[in-house]
Structure 1
Amino acid sequence: MEPLIHGILLAFGLILPLGVQNIFIFNQGAIHRKFTKALPAVITAGVCDTILIYLAVAGVSVIVFNFEWLKMLLFSAGFFFLAYMGLVIWKNKPEVRTNQEESRFSPRRQIVFAASVSLLNPHAILDTIGVIGTSSLAYTGYGKWVFTAACIGVSWLWFISLAVFGKKLGQINGNGKFLIRINQISAIIIWMMAIYMGYQLFSFFF
């Protein structure tokens, strides 16, 4: 019972803050007419988190934390991708009319972006590997896998809930202006995270 509760509380603590991954999933729920249209993003984010959590428990944290160049590579890739992603979301003009489906992200594009914000986000990787990986050391055998399953379960539940909540809020305004504002706010937050990531990358050299 202890590994289950520990895993649930820890996973919620890590996933609740407003991060790029959360913003993207919420955004896709808001701009699509049907929840099922946002499933590619939800499923991809869930699968990526599952992989990261499994690797964290498997002990990859030892590799990541022992190589400074790997951290620099993660921050560099994350900075440039977030800057690009913010621009794409800012320029995207979602419409609510059925004849404007082309303005929304295609399933393929959702998968690429969701995978990128999950796997090219140094903070998410370091948090997952550092916190979950380290916490899992308290358990062995069955307890460790219960802890792992709890973390993964919370991750999937959270992404589904985010997309559903986004869809409900996206229905508030029928002329599309509300969705455009959501995009703009999302882009600004993503750019702020890119700047912060760039600052941390800069600190590696000075």
Structure 2
Amino acid sequence: MNVVSMLEQEKIVAVLRRLPSDTFLDVVRALVDGGVRAIEVTMDAPDGADLIRRTREALGDDVMLGAGTVFTREQMRAAKEAGASFFVSPHLDPDLLEAAQEWGVPMVPGVLTPTEVAAAHRHGAQAVKIFPGSLVGPGYLRDLRGPFKDLKAMVTGGVSEDNARAFLDAGAVAVGVGSSLFPKADLEARDYASIAKRAERLVRLVRG
């Protein structure tokens, strides 16, 4: 996978963190129905790799499936074996970037400062994740792209329908969006139609 092309094309990566396993696939299907095809399953839950496997078996190539919140090679290996085609971390770890390159799986490391951006590029990252986006705002990304003119950044953390377009206008190639796509009330009510409509609205906003 060319992760930069994927991010530029899709614009939205849905970040699914610790969702109930019995409704997980229904949420993913609702997001796909709404036009969101890039899915990041976080590995900070014991069943993270299993959820990746189940999603890949159920939806095949209809989704671009990644593993997020990876901290160890073991998590990355389990995710890769389960069917993940890209990795995302909340931080910059050269050892993990090296492992990803060895396995031929692209990795998007989390960064915040100019020093971290430069280090990520030096260690082979094609794209980075600005995290947490809510802390710095679109203006920070715009300023960061002054010296880093070729920066390919996904912004994650506090991104919603209210600010997603502003981050893209500031130069982000994509945004990572979590619970604002599937709020607790919808999950508890199993209102997948509402989740699909919310996803569709966000897709129109960022791609229009």
**Same fold flag (TM > 0.5):** no
TM-score (normalised: structure 1) = 0.24
TM-score (normalised: structure 2) = 0.24
Q: Which structure has more strand as a fraction of its residues?
A: 2
Q: Which structure has more helix as a fraction of its residues?
A: 1
